[in-house]
Structure 1
Amino acid sequence: MAGLAFLVVAGQGFAQAQAPEIRRTAVFKDEGGEKVLRSPLSIVRDGKTGDLIVSSFESGEVVILDKGGALVNRIGAETGLVTPYGVALDNAGRIYVGEVRTGFLKVFSPGGILADEIDLSKMMDRTVSPGRITLGGDDRVYVADLNGNEILILTSRGDFLRSVGRFDYLQKAGKADGGRIVGISAQGKAVRIFDENGTLVRSFGDHGDSSDRNMSFPTGFAVDAKGRLWIADPFQHRLKVFSLAGEFLFNFGRVEETTESGGFFFPVDLCFGEKGELFVLEKGAERIQVFQVGDLRD
């Protein structure tokens, strides 16, 4: 069956001060034949089926893989999809896709049929370039507008609610526990956290190489069940983990184009499973690595 090769990796764990045991369990990657992932940018997991939904930017597709890495479906040009960047999933299994160059937010059925499209540029009366998107537990859509550098918040039906924040280089936005809204920027303060009304609560995370806590070019993030903020920094080839209060906790990973030592090669996005599985999407290596985070297992 077409898809990404499933490599089982055992016995390799990583630990730092304040870090739980993190053990790599699998790698999904191409092993000859047609490439499935080409410059992937965004990933989300279907908690009901275990499927992974990934934007494959260079091929102009959204790729759906099962929990073993086998190809389930492709959503591409035949549906009218153009330049897919961000992907998200609602409770009904519908797939939301942001088209960065057209300004459209498109909604597909679980089977990949176009169900709705929202012209964000028309809605905002200006050019919108939707990047990574997320759906919160409040059934709201959080869109990182790469052109306006602000967070656009919509209902799942596509009704505009409000915009939040002004960023230097916004990359991803989403909802955390307690109604807090998180935005990640590749320039300026890396993390900005707002209350549910859009008021800035705190900002943290400097750019530079002078400290392990500093960032180079953060792009994607996910918040785990313990409230830790995991940030993908592709230029550092690792994940950086903070509390939502801004305390630096630990780094995870190192530069590694192969899969032998468990490092990363331009990780750009990540997501979590219900049992503490960590899925890391690498644009440079065009693969997905799967880890088990020890203190999230239960």
Structure 2
Amino acid sequence: MAEVRFPEDEFDEDSLTCPVCQELYKDPKLLPCLHTFCRKCLETWAAKQSAGRKFTCPLCRSPVELPCPVWSGGVDKLYSNFYINKLLDFRRLRQSKTSRVLCEMCKSGIQAAAVCGDCSFLLCNNCVKIHGHTPALKDHVIITLYDIDNATKRSKYTRQVYCKKHSQRTTFYCEPCETLVCRDCTVDDHCRDRDGENHDPRELNKVTPKCKDCIEDLMKKTEDAVITKINQQEENLDKGLKTLDKNYAEEKKKIKQHYAKLMSTLKLEEEQMIQKLKKVKKDRKNELIHRKEEMARDLKETREGLLFCQNVLVRNSDTELLFYWQQMEKRLQELASQDTGNATFGDFKAVSFHPCSLPRIWGSLSVFPWIDVKGPTVVGLPCSVTVTADNLDPTGEDVGPQVEVISPKGKTTLIETTATSPSVTSGKGQTSRVRSFSAKWRPQESGKHSLGVCMGGLKDLGSLTVDVGSNNPVLRFGRKGSQQGQFNRPTDIAVRGDRLYVPDTFNHRVQVFDLNGKFRYSFSTITSSGSIAVQIDGTIVVRSAMEVAKFSPSGKTLQKFPLDEYCIKPYGLAVQRDGRVVVTDPDKHSIFLFEEDGTLVKQVKGQGRGEGQFKEPCFVCVDNEDNITVSDRDRDCVLVFDKNIRFKNKFGEYGNQPQNMVYPLGVSADSRGNIVLANRGGQNIKHSEKLQVFRPNGTWVSTISSDGDKLNLPHGVAVTEDGHVFVADPGDHCIRKYRYM
């Protein structure tokens, strides 16, 4: 018999009550946000919101997408809550003390005395004995009333998961398939040695430590990223509320002292000023309270998610942990990535009353701005700056504020803001509400930046210190070798849909991954593979040695055509929408345009620095309009041509500034026409081994730095639709992924 220690308070009705129907759970189902509800309650809730597959959690409103529509049993596909089912089993067993609860296995009408974690049945004493003597049932986990009342250790009892195909307990976990399997499945469907398939079934206790470490690490990161920050900001908001009340009292006193000296005819003006002050306080206070409530909700959701994960880890059930670990991982990543803002009141600027001399005998009231930054404060990435202020500056002019940014090295930049709320006036041009202004800021260096508000010729009307971090890679995978997921000098890379294609140069193959770096499959190119492009229909085009080879999406050779008739040393490759192939040759100072079958359409050549001339054309890409963009590594520039290789423009030059280029290599264009460029750099060049982002017209946007896990020898680049760029680094034999937009 298994031993169990079960706190009395967890038998409380509230812990076993569905938040929707307010009754005991019936077939409890777990949502991705880790909240639990009855299956029927979820079906009703989902049907009211949508007849399809999408709805929101009844508690936290997190989006939920079912694997199939509601009417096709989509809710039933959700995971059952192991622990709630366990509590319900214990509750039914304990009820047998005071009421007649019958055995559910033999249907003999005998009172139940135990519960089976495998069968999920209440058992009488006879059925308990049968379980112990029946070979197929002897390993079932059984809990008795005696165990519940007298044991001191925490139970390992839990409802077991059985294979639907073989009706066996799932005692293995196949990591590549990310699923629990039974022993027969490891032979039939998940055999490690099955040709052409990637399986690795392992015992649960060998996989659990890895999953447990992952969840614990994510829990720590979530707590550090969200709870600690929200607690700090709550303290700042509380300080702001207290400061606001104190400021209001002090300024009210000033107003009364000033107007007490004036004639009685100014009494009305005094009251108007006080009313305005009250309105300012109300607006500011409502804003602070609203933000605090938002943080309280975020804190509650985060704590609930962490509590669920903590309870799963404490219960120490391998099956339960492996059943949920992916869902918990995803939820913790969502919580850890929450945007909690950068609000602070360390430099709070108060509301001030300004008395005026005759003949203008009334005063003026100015609200000093409150500045806030939202979004990732990372080098090269845009974030949102919000200024909350009275739209009337101390001189009486209706103007918007500017944000003065001072970098760690003392460089000053002014950012113009745009009003996001209208101006409302009442009497003598006085505003009656606080206004909001916003701007976009893209920091260009890491370290502590000072953001100050300027308005009407005055500076330092509100300030905020923001710590800008390095744009380190969000993903890195691969190392030198010949096994799957390893590389030998990968020089180029391509993205199409949710797949990443890497020509593994000296392993003579192309490896295919998903956008999270998970290996999918590979195929041979016979000779060394160089540049790569993928057509809209999935056809994979590779410049392999002195030929262009086309492969099907699965890696089957479709067509080849030679290049040695035209080229000396072919390098970069790109494919236009109609299938025409563009090839560069740095040794021949040329770019070539071929038909799909290899027929030469056009060659553009010319060694020099004139318009449309090359020295060493290297990597090449095409945009959505088939415009051709070429990096010239010796001229330190980028040249742009139309789809027929007619010159359009050139941008870039050698130098030590962030916008300058030094030995540019990989180039890629996104769907908006933005161009991402890899710079290899050189000695004594500050911006070596960096990525650069340019607008379609060649205007420099940002330089992507990396203080941690720096680029070694950046070559080919490929952008994704969600604002990330992959970089092939043959120096480190790896692939790195950065955010660039």
TM over 0.5, shorter chain: yes
Matched-pair contact (CA < 8 Å) for 1:87–1:97:
yes
Aligned match of 1:57? 505
Question: TM-score when scaled to structure 2?
Answer: 0.34
User: Residues 172, 237 of structure 1: CA spacing in aligned structure 2 closer, same or farther, 3 A cutoff?
Assistant: same
Shift of 1:106: 1.0
Map of 2:474 onto structure 1: 25
Q: Which residue of 2 aligns with 1:283?
A: 730
Alpha-carbon offset, residue 24 of structure 1: 4.6
Shift of 1:136: 2.6
Q: Is the 8 A contact 2:636 2:662 kept in 1?
A: no
Q: CA shift at 1:65, angstroms? A: 1.9
Cα distance in structure 2, aligned partners of 1:97 and 1:15: 34
Q: Give me the whole-angstrom Cα distance separating, in 1, the residues matched to 2:697 and 2:705.
A: 23
Segments of structure 1 that go 5 or more residues without pairing to the other structure are none
Distance in 1 separating the partners of 2:377 and 2:592: 39
Structure 2: how far apart are the matches of 1:224 and 1:18? 19
Q: Are 2:705 and 1:241 aligned?
A: no
Distance 2:443 2:726 in 1: 17
Report if the CA contact (8 A) 2:726-2:736 is conserved: yes
Aligned length: 274
Report the Cα offset of residue 287 of structure 1: 1.9
Distance 1:204 1:68, change over 3 A: closer
Following superposition of structure 1 onto structure 2, how do residues 264-279 of structure 1 map, counting pairs within 5 Å? 264-279=711-726
State the shift of 1:246 in Å.
2.5
The farther-off stretch of 52-61 and 135-144 is 135-144
Shift of 1:290: 2.3
Give the alignment's TM-score, normalised by structure 1: 0.79
Q: Distance in 2 between matches of 1:154 and 1:33?
A: 33
Going from structure 1 to structure 2, the CA distance change for 1:32 and 1:155 (only over 3 Å counts) comes to closer
Looking at both structures, which has the greater relative contact order when contacts are Cα pairs under 8 Å and sequence separation is at least 6? 1
Cα deviation, residue 96, structure 1: 1.1
1:281 alignment partner, SS class: strand
Are 1:14 and 2:462 an aligned pair?
Answer: no
TM-superposition CA deviations, 1:201-249 (whole Å, max 9, x none): 22221224x3222222111011123322110012311102222323222
Equivalent residue letter for 1:168: K
Which of these two proteins has the greater Rg computed from alpha carbons? 2
Paired residues of 2:617 and 2:630 also in contact (CA < 8 A): yes
Higher fraction of strand = 1
Rounded to whole Å, the distance in 2 between the matches of 1:223 and 1:51 is 17
**What SS does the corresponding residue of 1:131 show, helix, strand or coil?**
coil
Structure 2 vs 1, CA of residues 31 and 39 (structure 1 numbering), >3 Å: closer, same or farther? closer
For 2:168, the equivalent position in structure 1 comes to: none
Q: Which residue of 2 aligns with 1:141?
A: 581
Alignment of 1:88-237 (within 5 A): 88-100=533-545, 103-122=546-565, 124=566, 127-166=567-606, 167-208=614-655, 210-235=656-681, 236-237=688-689
Structure 2 segments unaligned to the other structure (5+ residues):
1-175, 177-197, 199-213, 219-332, 338-375, 381-440, 445-467, 607-613, 682-687
Q: Residues of 2 paired with 1:30 and 1:270: CA distance?
A: 18
Matched to 2:529, the amino acid is P
Distance in 1 separating the partners of 2:443 and 2:615 = 30
- Which structure's residues are more often helix, by fraction? 2
* Deviation readout 1:240-276 (Å, 9 max, x if unpaired): 222232322221124x6xxxx2532222121122232
Match of 1:74 among 509, 522, 529: 522
Matched residues, percent identical? 21
2:480 and 2:487 in contact (8 A); partners too = no
> Contact between 1:85 and 1:130, CA under 8 Å: does it hold in 2?
no
Alpha-carbon deviation of 1:182? 1.2
Residue pair 2:636, 2:664 contacting (<8 A) in 1 also? no
Distance 2:659 2:739 in 1: 23
Q: CA deviation at 1:135?
A: 1.7
Superposed displacement of residue 53, structure 1: 1.0
For 1:202 and 1:28, locate their aligned partners in 2 and report how far apart those are by CA, in whole Å: 36
Counterparts of 1:115 and 1:179, CA distance in 2: 23
**1:213 counterpart letter in structure 2:** Q
**For 1:58, what is the secondary structure of its paired residue?**
helix
Task: Please provide the CA RMSD for this pair.
Answer: 3.1
- Aligned residue identity for 2:582: Y
